[in-house]
């Protein structure tokens, strides 16, 4: 495994798109959170209304809430690393190195494991970026609360799992479709449009929450909306609590879906002509 990671690193470290993605993530994660922080600061600026708003909202960017809030907003941008993951697998087809790697002495299993390593590497980097941004905002907005940094640390593994699960879906599409732009198009269409429509349709038309089993939705629910949403009345509070209670189930579901995705990749690769 370690040797596979080393070889993948040889491929990735001089790949321009990798550094572009990292640069864009380094800009996007702080920016989107800065935007919401500004909204929060605007709302809580006034003397009277501000105090009420502050009471209602708390500070979503203070420790320990920062772990949750930053995870929630940052996860909107899964598309960025998804592009990279799709490129990393479709490049192998494009350059026909998926054949060369086998010719040179990898097993077919090694090849998929190496790609699994790629997705894990990207997920780790994304999670690290998220953690740095969360710590940054936590320290910047309310340094008095810093002593509470170790609360709600579970959002780090949850963010990791969510990112890994969703990038695995992107990988599966890239792996099966082989063409970067088509795979990316299908991923975006599914991620942004199709699943959202399907989930909403089941929820509001069929009155059935079957949408929670859909692959993106299942992992989306690992990180519920930030806690302050639960402060807007009884219904919201109940809804928020329900979402929190469902997290363990979604952890299991996400792991199961992700495992199925990788089993498909291993199975298909062991049999197909390259």
Q: Of these, 99, 178, 179, 203, which contacts another protein (CB under 8 A)?
A: 99
Q: Does 105 bind another protein (CB under 8 A)?
A: yes
Q: Of these, 2, 47, 104, 235, which contacts another protein (CB under 8 A)?
A: 104
* Nearer CB in complex with another protein: 14/144: 14
Closest to 257 in 3D by CA, of 197, 224, 203, 217: 217
Chain centroid to CA 7: how far?
25
Q: Does 2 bind another protein (CB under 8 A)?
A: no
CB of 120 to another protein, least distance (A): 19
* Nearer CB in complex with another protein: 2/204: 2
Q: Does 203 bind another protein (CB under 8 A)?
A: no
Helices 180-188 and 155-177, axial angle in degrees (round to 10): 130
Give the binding range for another protein (CB under 8 A) out of 65-73, 214-222, 255-263, 266-274: 266-274
Q: What are phi and psi of 115, to 5 degrees?
A: -75, -35
Q: Cα angle at 71 between 172 and 49, to 5 degrees?
A: 145
By CB under 8 A, the count of residues binding another protein is: 26
Q: Tokens for 161, please give them.
A: 């799992």
Q: What are phi and psi of 183, to 5 degrees?
A: -60, -45
Q: Of these, 5, 15, 28, 243, which contacts another protein (CB under 8 A)?
A: 15
Q: Does 178 bind another protein (CB under 8 A)?
A: no
Q: What are phi and psi of 78, to 5 degrees?
A: -60, -25
């Amino acid at each position: 495994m370690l040797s596979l990671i080393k070889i993948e690193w040889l491929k990735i470290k001089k790949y321009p798109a990798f550094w572009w993605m990292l640069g864009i993530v380094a800009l996007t994660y702080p920016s989107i959170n800065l935007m919401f922080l500004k909204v929060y600061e605007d709302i809580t600026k006034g003397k009277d209304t501000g105090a009420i708003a502050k009471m209602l909202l708390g500070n979503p960017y203070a420790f320990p809430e920062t772990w949750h809030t930053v995870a929630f907003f940052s996860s909107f941008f899964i598309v960025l690393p998804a592009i990279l993951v799709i490129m990393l697998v479709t490049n192998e087809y494009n350059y026909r190195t998926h054949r060369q790697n086998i010719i040179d002495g990898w097993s077919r299993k090694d090849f998929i494991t190496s790609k699994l390593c790629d997705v894990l590497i990207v997920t780790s980097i994304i999670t690290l970026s998220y953690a740095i941004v969360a710590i940054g905002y936590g320290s910047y907005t309310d340094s008095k609360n810093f002593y509470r940094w170790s609360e709600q640390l579970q959002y780090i593994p949850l963010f990791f799992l969510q990112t890994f699960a969703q990038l695995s879906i992107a990988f599966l599409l890239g792996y099966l479709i082989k063409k970067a732009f088509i795979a990316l198009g299908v991923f975006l269409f599914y991620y942004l449009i199709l699943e959202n429509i399907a989930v909403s349709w089941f929820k509001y038309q069929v009155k059935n929450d079957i949408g929670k089993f859909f692959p993106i939705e299942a992992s989306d629910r690992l990180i519920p909306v930030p806690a302050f949403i639960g402060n807007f009345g009884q219904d919201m509070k109940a809804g928020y609590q329900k979402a929190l209670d469902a997290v363990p189930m979604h952890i299991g579901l996400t792991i199961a879906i992700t495992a199925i995705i990788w089993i498909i990749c291993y199975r298909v690769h062991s049999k197909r002509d390259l």
